[in-house]
Amino acid sequence: MKRTFLLIALALAVGAAIPLFIGGQALLPELRSLPAEVWLVALGSVALGWCINATRLTLVLGGLGQKLSLPRAVGKVMAIEFATNATPAGSGGALAYVYLVAQRGLSSSHAAAMYALDQVLDLTFFLAALLVIAPLLLAGPSEPHLGWQLGTLLTLLLGGCVLLWLMVRDYRRVLLWAGRMLHHLRISVARRRQLARWILRFRHGVGLLLGLARWRLALVYVLCVCHWVIRYSILFWIVRGLGERIPWSYLFLTQMLSFSVGQAALLPGGSGGVELGFSALLAPWLPAATLAAALIAWRCATYYWLLLAGLGPFVVLIGRRLWQQDTPAT
């Protein structure tokens, strides 16, 4: 836990240093010019996103015969987002999701299947959104340089979707490959059999989820679309609040690319990588002070606020157990 908090502190410092370097002394006056209504819209959009994702969670659990109230689901979603943003590459988010969902009486393999479904829906949305906005961006006379950026994102998204589909379809090959790898790592036969059983239960969980009522799956996907459209519109309103005009489609692409760069960073929340990608893509559009103000306001709403607001639910739902594991017995 102490190492995690040190990483978060380092990420916050790096994330704040970049906009300060870009904007200099003009950053604070520019940031003060952002209307209070924009802050309310940004933070309200995040809160609405929590409620939407909580509804998604209750719908899927309800289809599996597990009841979960919306307030409790919101707390779990906030804790999961905290874990995602507090760990490099969001690795803690998957563990937090599986742990919290398994508390409802599901096995860890079925909880992992729910997380996989959640990720597939997200990937499907981003792929569909990119296919829609790509022609709009490329048709613009001033945007011929976007081809490589769009191509990179399409390759990553298509690759992710194909990889997940192959893993589910050819699970026997996955089992054999995993067995060979574990054998080379000198993992015991008992452990390898345990992992094989877990993978089979995971695939069974995927089958159960795909067998849910079509209306339920369709509603979950609609909520997924609503969540990401709202979350990715926060930057648009921030830029508008600072008196600038940038197409929503370009800001959508900016955020996708920035988060992709951030995934390669070794700090929680992609700090450093996200800020550098954001600055490089919007520097031709915005003055330095405005760019820095937009960057720090956007990160406050979509990163710092997620950490601050999600800390309480995380400590209540997960943190106590982690603290007990880190504390040596007396």
Q: What is the pLDDT of residues 290-312, one digit of tens each?
A: 999 999 999 999 999 999 999 99
Reported confidence tier of residue 207, pLDDT bands at 50, 70, 90: confident
Confidence check: pLDDT of 180 > 60: yes
Confidence check: pLDDT of 29 > 60: yes
User: Would the pTM of this model clear 0.85, i.e. be above it?
Assistant: yes
Domain ranges for the chain, please list them.
Answer: 51-326
The fraction of the chain above a pLDDT of 90, given in percent, is: 45
Confidence check: pLDDT of 324 > 70: no
Q: How confident is the model at residue 287, as a pLDDT?
A: 93
SS3 state of residue 190 = helix
Confidence check: pLDDT of 141 > 70: no
- Choose among 91, 111, 86: nearest CA to 101: 111
Q: SS3 helix, strand, coil % of the chain, rounded to 5? A: 85, 0, 15
What is the rounded end-to-end Cα distance, in angstroms, of the chain? 19
- Phi, psi values for residue 233, rounded to 5°: -90, -10
SS3 state of residue 283 = coil
Q: Which of 28-37, 57-66, 185-194 has the lowest mean pLDDT?
A: 185-194
Amino acid at 24: G
DSSP 147-187: HHHHHHHHHHHHHHHHHHHHHHHTHHHHHHHHHHHHHHTT-
Residue 307 CA to residue 82 CA, distance in Å, equals: 5
Residue identified by tokens 């067995």 is 179
45 or 135, which is more confident: 45
Q: How confident is the model at residue 116, as a pLDDT?
A: 87
